[in-house]
Amino acid sequence: MRTPARWRVLLLSAGEISLTQHMQEAGKQSRAGQEIRLIDIAAESGAGLGLFDTLHGMESGAALSQAIKAACQRQHGTAGRAFLQQLVQQRDAVATLIRDARASFLAEDVPPSASGQVVRAASRFALVAVAGEIATTWGLTGWQEGEAMAAAVRLFNEWLSGRGGAGDAETREGLASVRAFLEAHGESRFTPWDANPAATACTINRAGFKRLEDDGLWFYVLPAAFRKEICKGFNPVSVAKSMAGRGWLKTQSDDRTTYKAKLPGMGNKPSNVYLITPKIWEDEQ
């Protein structure tokens, strides 16, 4: 009946592949909450030095890595104990500083339209940044003031860019699923609008129809295919609303995401379809 001990831990792990890749190898799909808890940050700095931006006087990245490893073996825990000692002694002041710095980070460096997932991730970047700045103030790092914050902001922006934006991950992945389906099956599973009856009958597992207009190719997607295949693993209502908001779907009213159209060879009565516009290929985000 004892109250269980609870811990909130930030971890740093060096890995060759991401959480998403791990789960794909197992035939599973990662979820947004998992990706927020285990944030992937690319180690390649783009400076041609692997993990490092600068070699700090060393002859190579390997030499710098070995020097860091040797220093960690000698001094492991030194800064951590000193940091905790100061933290306990100044906990009230530090708590206020953390709140203020985190609020500043979120206000200045997070897009105003960011989803709750992005805000939660940004809060973790902010916590690491303020910890680094506090450690610098206490003389434990040897860094310049503002260096830890600048590094955290940079990494947050790189993570945000690699993630594909500040929206919900489920929505982003759902939209990507729609595009991937059209790229893979646009030729084989969508009957040309003006095809003769013989060609229409040859479309196996039809997902809908396609019609070439002056502005590009329009896809008339059958509802069952949209819900069960194109949006498999995602909420089709949310995906459709996001598509409509981006102009990827043509709708006839604000409260519906489907479109009524008379489809070739399917009678004179209009059918509900998801009418995907050519804009789906223009929006890279």
Q: What is the pLDDT of residues 80-133, one digit of tens each?
A: 999 999 999 998 899 999 999 889 999 998 888 788 888 888 999 999 999 999
In this predicted model, what pLDDT tens digit does every residue of 131-189 receive, in sequence order?
Answer: 999 999 999 999 999 999 999 999 999 888 877 676 667 778 888 889 999 999 999 99
Give domain status of residue 112, yes or no.
yes
Helix axes 78-89, 116-137, angle to 10 degrees: 100
pLDDT at 202: 75
Residues 228 and 97 in one domain: no
- What is the domain count for the chain? 2
pLDDT for the residue numbered 112? 85
pLDDT (average), residues 198-226? 87
Shared-domain flag, residues 110 and 236: no
The verdict on 181 and 77 lying in the same domain is no
* 255 shares its domain with 140: no
For residues 205 and 259, state if they share a domain: yes
Alpha helices in the chain (DSSP H): 19-25, 32-37, 61-75, 78-89, 91-109, 116-137, 147-163, 169-185, 197-201, 223-225, 236-246
120/124 Cα distance (integer angstroms): 7
Residue 42 domain flag: yes
CA distance 142 to 135: 9
Task: Read off the DSSP letter of residue 256.
Answer: B
Query: What whole-number percentage of the chain has pLDDT above 90?
Result: 43
Of 102, 135, 163, the last residue of a domain is 163
- 121 Cα distance to chain centroid: 11
Residue 268 vs residue 228, higher pLDDT: 228
In this prediction, residue 201 carries a pLDDT of 66
Mark whether 106 and 120 lie in a shared domain.
yes
CA-closest candidate to residue 171, choices 231, 101, 89? 231
| pLDDT at site 18 | 79
In a domain, 111, yes or no: yes
> Do 135 and 197 lie in a common domain?
no
Instruction: Please report the pLDDT score of residue 198 as a whole number.
Output: 64
pLDDT band at 25 (very low <50, low <70, confident <90, very high): confident
14 assigned to some structural domain:
no
Residue 1 lies in a domain: no
| Whole-angstrom distance, CA of residue 143 vs CA of residue 136 | 6
Last residue of a domain, one of 163, 180, 199: 163
Range of the domain at 147: 19-163
pLDDT of residue 46: 63
Token code pair at residue 87: 């933290």
Which of 163, 197, 230 corresponds to the end of one domain? 163
**Is 12 among the domain residues?**
no
Q: What is the mean pLDDT of residues 48-60?
A: 81
Q: How many CB atoms lie within 10 A of CB 89?
A: 10
Look at 32-41, 100-109, 221-230 and tell me which has the smallest mean pLDDT: 32-41
- Asked if residue 233 belongs to a domain, the reply is yes
- Do the domain assignments include residue 57? yes
**21 vs 58: CA distance, rounded Å:** 34
What type of residue is 50? G
pLDDT of 234 above 90: no
Residues 141 and 178 in one domain: no
Q: Are residues 24 and 123 in the same domain?
A: yes
Q: Decide: helix, strand or coil at residue 150.
A: helix
Same domain, 78 and 130: yes
Q: Are residues 234 and 270 in the same domain?
A: yes
Same domain, 49 and 144: yes
Asked if 127 and 119 touch (Cβ cutoff 8 Å), the reply is: no
